Amino acid sequence: MTRVLTTILMTAVTALFCFCTVFLPPIGDPNSAPNQHVTPYYIENAKEDTGSPNIVTATLADYRGFDTLWETSVMFVSGLTAFLILMNSTEIGDKIMPKKGEKGGAKREE
Amino acid sequence: MKNNSMKKAFGGLILDTSFRILVPFTLVYGMYILTHGEYSPGGGFQAGALVAVGIVLVRMIQGGDKDMFNVSGPMAVVCAGVGTFIYAGTGWLTIFGGGLFLDYGALPVPMHHLAELHALGILMIEIGVTVCVMMTIINIMDAIIERLDDDLEEEVECDGNNH
């Protein structure tokens, strides 16, 4: 039941995200909102504002530092998830299943 | 005696040579990318991946318990969290310095030029990113190795029961 619900939810969210791309401006469109205000400002002021000679670094680490913070957090959490799945599951045939009681940590401590 | 320990072989010509050529250059190159990150695009993520590759190579060549960089288990998980915390801590430092979150110009450090403060802030967050990426990769490798060990133990147990 949980698996069916998860599948439906994931499909719906993916479809929603794919549908939203219709409203994005085309790549390289000079009339889109970010290309009219934000990008020229970054190109003109990145050197004085951040002291970094590289606009990519200035944008990534300084103007958009908050975004990179959560990028790092997402990487940490996804790595932790992969770690936990690998540590706490066992391979049955070609499926990866959660570990059963006798193989888990509770028995091993005794 | 220290010189002797460096000259000792680990196991075979190929392993020795690859260890002595690949590992130091990978680590030094990772550190270079980290400290040069302010001037080049990217920085933290690539540096973390490179340093992690260096440590993974060390562990693959020298074996599990007695390798040079023995960070594994709970300590590695904690270190990955500490990396993320360094990043967020930089943001809080700028708040204590009287600025906005991640506003590097307000870092409470006695430096006069705004550009120097920004360079320092970018370096700090990139150190955080590097530690996080490095430790995450090592964590995943640890988990895979642990699984392999478990499977091997199971096979040994099964063989023992059969015979």
pLDDT in tens, A40-80: 888 888 888 887 788 888 888 888 889 999 999 999 999 99
pTM: 0.78
Question: B139 to chain A: which residues are within 8 Å by CB?
Answer: 79-80, 83
A14, two tokens: 């993916």
CA–CA min distance A15, chain B (Å): 30
Question: Which amino acid does the sequence have at A43?
Answer: I
> Is B136 in contact with A79 (Cβ distance < 8 A)?
yes
CA pair distance B137, A79, nearest whole angstrom? 7
Q: Which of B71, B69, B84 is nearest to B132 (CA)?
A: B84
ipTM of the complex: 0.79
Instruction: Please name the residues between 25 and 84 in chain A that touch chain B, using a CB distance below 8 Å.
Output: 49-54, 56-57, 60-62, 65-66, 68-69, 72-73, 75-76, 79-80, 82-83
How many domains does one find in chain B?
1
Pull the structure tokens for residue A89.
Answer: 């599951």
Has residue B151 got a pLDDT over 90? no
Contact (CB, 8 A) for B122 and B38: yes
Q: Which structural domain, as residue segments, surrounds residue B23?
A: 2-162
How does pLDDT run across B97-127, given as a tens digit for each residue?
888 888 888 888 887 788 888 888 888 889 9
- Taking the CA atoms of residue A19, residue A22, residue A26 and residue A31 in that order, the dihedral angle to the nearest 10 degrees is -130
Question: Exposed/middle/buried for A103, CB within 10 Å: 0-12, 13-18, 19+?
Answer: middle
Separation of CA B4 from chain center: 28
Helix, strand, coil tally for chain B in percent (to 5): 75, 0, 25
A98 strand-pairing partners: A89
